[in-house]
A = this chain, B = another copy of it.
Amino acid sequence: MRRNVSRSDAARGDVYQIGDVAERVGLSLRTVRYYEEAGLLMPVGRTVGGFRLYDADAIERLLLIRKMKPLGFTLEEMRSLLTLRDELAAPDLAADTRAALQERLGTWVLLAEEKLSTLREQVSVAESFVGGLHDDADRRGGTA
Establish whether residues A119 and B112, one from each chain, have CB atoms under 8 Å apart when the complex forms: no
Report whether A116 and B106 are in contact in the complex, using a CB–CB cutoff of 8 Å.
no
- Shortest Cβ distance from A68 into B: residue: B129
Measured CB to CB, the closest approach of chain B to A90, in angstroms, equals 11
Give the distance in Å from the alpha carbon of A64 to the alpha carbon of B132 in the complex.
10
Tell me the smallest distance from the CB of A82 to a CB of chain B, in Å.
11
Q: Does A126 contact B (CB under 8 A)?
A: yes
Interface segment, A5-13, A26-34, A46-54, A136-144?
Answer: A136-144
Number of chain copies forming the complex: 2
CA distance A102 to B137 in the complex (A): 6
Contact (Cβ within 8 A) A137 B68: no
* A125 and B91 form a contact (CB under 8 A): no
Interface size on A, residues (CB 8 A): 35
Chain B neighbourhood of A128, CB < 8 A: 67
Q: Which residues of B contact A100 (CB under 8 A)?
A: none
Complex-state Cα separation, A106 to B88, whole angstroms: 51
Question: What B residues does A134 contact at CB under 8 A?
Answer: 109
CB proximity of A57 to chain B, nearest CB, Å: 14
Q: Is A94 an interface residue (CB 8 A)?
A: no
Interchain CB contact (< 8 A) of A129 among B67, B125, B132 = B67
Known contacts A66-B125, A67-B128, A116-B130; can you find 15 more A-B pairs with CB under 8 A?
A67-B126, A67-B132, A68-B129, A70-B122, A70-B125, A71-B130, A85-B136, A102-B137, A102-B140, A105-B133, A105-B136, A109-B130, A112-B129, A115-B126, A116-B123
